[in-house]
Amino acid sequence: MRLRSTLAPFFLIPVCLAQSAHRSPTLGVPKDKLSLYVPIAGSNPPQWRCLDGKGDLLLFSAVNDDYCDCEDGSDEPGTSACKGGMFHCVNEGHLPKNIPNLRVNDGLCDSDCCDGSDEPAGVCPNRCAELGEAYRTTLEQERRLRRTGSKIRSSYVSYAKKEKKRLEEALEKGRQAVDQARLDEMRLKAVLDRAESTSADALEYKLQSPLYASLKSHSAAVKALTTKVANMEGKIATLKSILAELETSHNPNYQDMAVRGAIKGYQDFLESEKIPTDDVSEEDLEDLFKAAENDVESWTTEELKRLGQADLTGLLLEHEHHLAGFGKTEDSILFSVEHYLPEAWLPYYHETKTLLISWMVRLGVVRGVLDTSDSDEVKRARTAYSDAQRAAEDAENKLAADEDLLTKLAGFYGPDGEWLKLKDTCIEKNTGEYTYSICFFGLATQRSNNGGGTHSLGRFTTWNDEEAEGTLEYYSSQLYEHGARCWNGPERSVELVLTCGTENALLSIAEPEKCEYIVEGTSPALCWPLETEAQTKDEL
């Protein structure tokens, strides 16, 4: 309720009702303002003016008379009469405190006002001695914790110092390595250029072979087909995931017939289709490959994809080489395919290779004898050049990474680089149903303890960027974002709130909003040395 704020002093003052009889005019006034709460010198009867200087003079007895006269509320420091003011509790024996004046005279002994001055005399006991003592004990415990923690932290700091030195040395070496690698790369490029120009004419002739043309169009067809199949499988997988998600996570509150129908349909679909899942076992894969040998139609997408990606020119040259060296080993025939094989697929390399060959035989690719001329030389040169290229890039990457780390050591990894030690350190908490894990500066996950899956809760993105880098508050929380998306909700994310502790540990996990986690934890890295804050804590 906003009463008109024109409550200027009253000009007619015939009688002063004794509302203020028992209240000191300085009740609720902080020490530094006590001098303002005295009558105007020489006034009789004693008078007073609102602290904002506005309005006419008041009788001094209007101060703390439980009626709001001043627009700025300054005449009622010790009552709740004026809206929005603060009441000062002296709290002798404990910390002084300002409380909102709406707590004054509300019948409750305010915990922030241990001297009981917020309520009429006799209502609240003075508990300042007791509370002050407890506060000091807690403070001392905290300090002990800080001391222990900061010892651990200093070990992190010395690690950072060593790392800094190592990095500086590594940087020097790294720069040299990059220079050398770039020189090698240039040299080998020249070799390759030479080799290619000498054989370019011969290659051009070979590329005109009808066989190559046919191979090329077949390859294009395979690519198109593969893309199409991949698109379709992707869509099916998408739909399946959505339905699986719907099945497990639909909210019965929606009470939605359509949702229930969809789930039933999905279950029937799974039952009837028995579609192989994405996680194909090794046995399954072998079976598939075997089937493919007998039936061109049943090629797996993966195989088709690899075929589409084959280096046709290379194949043409290899083909010549193969015909020329009839009876030699076939090991090198698919060298370019090998590039596209993920490591996990290497066990199936031989099967794949066999299949490819048989496929080419069917298509009539492998037939007759041709002169293989000088392709060996070009091939070797190309390999050597690309190796050198990679080496140079690797060296540069390593150098950049080291430089980045060195830059981050001052600031990002804490004022003293103390957090570097914790990079990739993972801490866990088992809450019964789930185990939560956070790897500092890495991934946060939620793992089901009942055989369900593991979900990403996000990757580290930033410190508390609402605070300035270098402050304790800045390093007191980390954000992990862009985790797995929730059904009908946001991507999961974690705010990791940290305090000083002797261990790197997670204390609690909460999900105040759907899929937005607040995780509390401790780390010695936050136990800054006591000296830096000692002054502020010594108010007592």
Distance CA 463, CA 474 (A): 6
Contact between 123 and another protein by CB under 8 A: the answer reads: no
Contact between 431 and another protein by CB under 8 A: the answer reads: yes
Look at residues 26, 11, 17 and name the one whose alpha carbon lies nearest to residue 74: 26
DSSP 273-297: H----SS--HHHHHHHHHHHHH-GG
Contact between 338 and another protein by CB under 8 A: the answer reads: no
Contact between 252 and another protein by CB under 8 A: the answer reads: yes
Contact between 277 and another protein by CB under 8 A: the answer reads: no
Look at residues 308, 309, 350 and name the one whose alpha carbon lies nearest to residue 333: 350
Residue 461 CA, distance from chain mean position: 4
Distance CA 341, CA 352 (A): 10
Angle at 362 between CA 361 and CA 365, to 5 degrees: 50
Distance CA 44, CA 39 (A): 9
Determine which residue in the list 35, 44, 253, 272 makes contact with another protein, applying CB under 8 A: 253
Contact between 244 and another protein by CB under 8 A: the answer reads: yes
By CB under 8 A, the residues from 492 to 521 that bind another protein are 508, 510-515
Contact between 433 and another protein by CB under 8 A: the answer reads: yes
On whether the CB atoms of residues 455 and 487 are closer than 8 A, the answer is no
Determine which residue in the list 488, 532, 533, 540 makes contact with another protein, applying CB under 8 A: 488
Residues binding another protein: number (CB under 8 A): 72
By CB under 8 A, the residues from 16 to 75 that bind another protein are 16-17, 19, 65-67, 69
Measured from the CB of residue 394, what is the shortest distance to another protein in angstroms?
Answer: 29
By CB under 8 A, the residues from 194 to 233 that bind another protein are none
Contact between 449 and another protein by CB under 8 A: the answer reads: no
Comparison of 328 and 514: residue with beta carbon closer to another protein: 514
The tokens describing 499, both together, are 């305090």
Comparison of 417 and 483: residue with beta carbon closer to another protein: 483
Site string for another protein, 72-111 (x = CB under 8 A): --------xx-xx---------------x-xx-xxxx---
- Strand bridging mode 47-48 / 505-513: unpaired
Look at residues 359, 372, 368, 360 and name the one whose alpha carbon lies nearest to residue 317: 372
Comparison of 56 and 376: residue with beta carbon closer to another protein: 56
Contact between 340 and another protein by CB under 8 A: the answer reads: no
Comparison of 2 and 274: residue with beta carbon closer to another protein: 2
Contact between 115 and another protein by CB under 8 A: the answer reads: no
| Sign for the pseudo-dihedral over CA of 359, 363, 366, 370 | negative
Measured from the CB of residue 236, what is the shortest distance to another protein in angstroms?
Answer: 12
DSSP 376-405: HHHHHHHHHHHHHHHHHHHHHHHHHHHHHH
**Of 154-162, 344-352, 394-402, 430-438, which part binds another protein (CB under 8 A)?**
430-438
